[in-house]
Amino acid sequence: MSIAGLISNLFRRNARKPAIYDFAIIGGGIAGLSAAAALAPLGRVVIIEAAPQLAFHSSGRSAEMYLPNHGTRAVRTLTAASATHLHFANGGVLNKRGMLLLGRIGEEQYFDYEMRAGAMAPISLEDAGVYFPLMNQHHVSRAAWSSDALDLDTHALIKGYSDQARAEGADLHLNAQVLGLYQTPSGWEVGCSDRVVQARYVINAAGAWADVLAGYAGLPPLGLTCLRRSMIDLPSPSGYDVRRWPHVRAAGGRWYATPSGHGLILSSAEEDPVMPTDSSPDETVLANGLARFEDMTTMSVSRVNRTWAGLRTFAADRSPVVGPDPLLPSFIWLAGQGGTGFQTAPALSDLLADRITGRASSLPPETVFAVSPDRLRG
């Protein structure tokens, strides 16, 4: 007998009586929670999360901004389609912030490209210094501004979707490690560390582990790549009130920083490929990011409050993956958001429900295909 068969028999002998659902959502981050809120009115939903709490991995470590001109064309369309929900649902989760782009002397080509891509307007270095008093004018040659960038309250969005899903009757299983997926005549058995869950559909919202989960279902991977991004919580610079400062990005992916409370959250903006894991930052990467930040500012960092890292998962074309797998339509993908999961969650979860029910999507057909698993299976 195969190992999978032995594990399956073990579940059947020792697990509690299987609970039966329409949708088993694997992953309790922003993808899984928004999916639960969208699907719970359509049938019985369970969220299966391996961690002891929701949004434990990347979703709980995000310094997310609402950046309407960021990402691929599909991501920008999804962001625009999510705007109404993000602005108004449950009181809204967006607040004014603005974004400042800085170009280093000798690297103007990066600045010019990113300014155009972000639909930003050039401003004088004097004005940039008003927005961001730490800017080192001896090392910065150009600046641009956008008022479209907004703060996104990730905790409020997570809570809103969680409350909505629970109100619609969704169940939650925490500390439930998925060990196997087994097809049945009526759908799936999800073998967890403490139970067996039966469902008509499996929703793969497993983030960095999405390709691993597909393997459990007997499917080939889509080729998703996990990229680590490290973050540093800095104390407020002496003598400054940072609360009204903009989100600041250095062209060429050198670093970005955004106010948080009375301090700054700084990212070294790296994209280092790693295996799916509970990621931790690399000290060399953090040191290099700090050095790049100090080079373009007048701040000398003597201490940090804390550091952490998160994983961003991308398909090869850097657009999300949403919809039934063409090889196994009861296995539904909701993955590959690549750091834009919060700003696209409303549109992606609506599209997920549309793809499952066969409803016509309000999104353009080219966007629906651009995020479909079909484009990666072809």
Q: Which is it for strands 247-250 and 99-104: parallel, antiparallel or unpaired?
A: parallel
Question: Is residue 330 classed as helix, strand or coil in its secondary structure?
Answer: strand
Domains contained in the chain, number: 2
**10-residue averages of pLDDT along the chain (378 residues):** 40 54 96 97 95 62 78 97 96 96 93 96 97 96 96 93 95 92 96 92 96 97 96 92 95 94 92 87 94 96 92 96 98 96 97 97 98 94
Say how far apart CA 54 and CA 32 lie, in whole Å: 9
Are 39 and 158 in the same domain?
yes
For residue 350, the domain's CATH number is 3.50.50.60
pLDDT at 378: 75
b/e burial code for range 95-132 (CB count within 10 A of at least 16 → b): eebbbbbbbbeeeeebbeebbeebebeebeeeebeebb
Name the residue range of residue 43's domain: 3-61+154-223+318-377
Whose CA is closest to 136, among 104, 94, 98?
Answer: 104
pLDDT at 2: 42
Are 253 and 183 in the same domain?
no
- In a domain, residue 113? The reply is yes
DSSP 56-70: -SGGGG---EE-TT-
For residue 256, the domain's CATH number is 3.30.9.10
pLDDT at 18: 60
Of 280, 295, 314, the residue that ends a domain is: 314
Say how far apart CA 345 and CA 159 lie, in whole Å: 13
pLDDT at 278: 76
- Per-residue pLDDT of 96-130, as tens digits, reads 999 999 999 988 899 999 999 999 999 999 999 99
